Structure 1
Amino acid sequence: MNKIKWLVMFFGVSVLLGGCATNRGATIAEQRQAILQMKGEVLSELYSLNPSTRAQISSAPGYAVFNNANVNLILASFGGGYGVVTDNRNGKNTYMKMAEVGLGLGAGVKDFRVVFVFHNADTMQRFIEQGWAFGAQADAAAKAGEKGAAVAGEVTVDNITIYQLTESGLALQATVKGTKYWRDDSLN
């Protein structure tokens, strides 16, 4: 019976991540447009929460915006999402995907957005080409739409300033996780 519960939970998590981590739209153009719309909404929210980020992003060589769904099950954390890197020097967009897995204590589901501000072009290019990120995370979120509260933050690592905004979810976690970002070949 215990195996059946784990199988049902795994299936449920897979369906949830699959639904949250895919962009909307049937055609390539619709998928790109959905990602650009998400980027615009996230940037508007970030600018309203922290107005100084507008100047920081516009003066940087580039930035990235990602939509991520994360599920924590006792000792494991799984996530997936999509996003776009924008090169401010030439306006080029590189569409990307992401996946993450982690170990640590946690429980819950969290839908969040991440903005990366690249402080030099080499760091941005390395992110596009290699895309790995590894780190520890500790946060708490209890938010649904406009209701609730979320702890989000800003951190600067390797010439990248990272902002995280929680969209919705209920989660408490302390994990060490690895995240892989890679080009979405079907959209580039």
Structure 2
Amino acid sequence: MKKMYTLSKFLLISHLLLFSTISFCQAGLWDSVKSVASDVGDAVTDTASKVGDTASDMIEDDVSPAQKRQTIDNNAQKTLSRLFEESREAQEYYDKAKGYAVFDSHEFAFLIKTGTGSGVAVNKIDNSRTYMKMLGAGANIGGGIKYMQIIFIFPTEVALDAFINDGWSADADASAVGGDDSGQLGLTLADGTKVYELVDTGIMAKMSIGGTKYWKDDDLN
């Protein structure tokens, strides 16, 4: 009964989000869709958070925190192995890095896209682990659901600690939103952190992670 209620709540929120977006289009405001992600601010973020939490509730009702941590760790290791197979450059950055973070994200793409995910940030010096959440919102034309992995490789402990303890928002980092024109794969942030995005077809050559936020998962730490 609880899962049926949770599923109904999730579907209702999803429909409200979609119908609200369509109403913008019908009102002749389609040209403003590209700015909806930033203009909608807390409203979209809050709705996306509720959708993500509801989806997590449906999937994880019977999963213990220890099992969740183990699943996240296993996914992170598999993702790193795949990344290194795809890019020798990424392997070289990782070998010199002080830490890394790996996130699995499900992106629900309608007219407004919302992406929710979980991951782990690891200090390579002492192997300490911090489990984290992610949320993204932005304008999108099209539909569907996409699965992806986001990998951060931190050159210094300072960069890693700031990411973990302060959280991180791509909107506050122009280098993340603007992209990397260096010709290399992924992004290079202002502090030297490398960011890669893996999808079904491999590493995204050009990417922008604007609209995404990362923070500690209090339930798993």
Normalised-by-shorter TM-score class: 0.7 to 0.9
2:118, 2:59 → 1: CA distance? 7
Given candidates 129, 136, 158, the residue that maps to 1:93 is: 129
1:122, 1:8 → 2: CA distance? 38
1:156, distance to aligned residue in structure 2 (A): 0.6
Given candidates 81, 84, 93, the residue that maps to 1:44 is: 81
1:180, distance to aligned residue in structure 2 (A): 1.3
Write out aligned runs for 1:1-188 (5 A). 6-7=15-16, 14=51, 18=55, 26-74=63-111, 76-131=112-167, 132-134=169-171, 135-136=176-177, 153-158=185-190, 159-167=192-200, 177-188=210-221
Secondary structure of the residue aligned to 1:47 is helix
2:86, 2:66 → 1: CA distance? 30
Q: Which residue of 1 aligns with 2:31?
A: none
Secondary structure of the residue aligned to 1:112 is strand
TM-score by length of 2: 0.62
Q: Given that residues 60 and 117 in structure 1 are in contact (C-alpha distance below 8 angstroms), is that contact kept between their aligned partners in structure 2?
A: yes
Secondary structure of the residue aligned to 2:150 is strand
Q: Give the AA of the match of 1:54.
A: Q
Post-superposition Cα deviations, 1:96-148, rounded to whole Å, max 9, x if no partner, equal 0111111354433211001101112211111112222225489xxxxxxxxxx
How many residue pairs are counted as aligned between the two chains? 163
Question: Aligned-pair RMSD on alpha carbons?
Answer: 3.5
| Consecutive unaligned residues in structure 2, runs of 5 or more | 1-13, 20-50, 180-184, 202-206
Q: Given that residues 104 and 150 in structure 2 are in contact (C-alpha distance below 8 angstroms), is that contact kept between their aligned partners in structure 1?
A: yes
Q: Which residue of 2 aligns with 1:142?
A: none
1:61, 1:23 → 2: CA distance? 32
Greater RCO between the two (CA within 8 Å, min separation 6)? Answer: 1
Post-superposition Cα deviations, 1:63-112, rounded to whole Å, max 9, x if no partner, equal 100001112222x2211000000101111011001111113544332110
| Consecutive unaligned residues in structure 1, runs of 5 or more | 139-152, 169-173
Q: Which has the higher strand share?
A: 1
Q: Which has the higher helix share?
A: 2
Q: Given that residues 28 and 186 in structure 1 are in contact (C-alpha distance below 8 angstroms), is that contact kept between their aligned partners in structure 2?
A: yes
Q: Which residue of 2 aligns with 1:146?
A: none
1:161, 1:175 → 2: CA distance? 13
1:54, distance to aligned residue in structure 2 (A): 2.4
Q: 1:177 to 1:156 in 2, by over 3 A?
A: closer
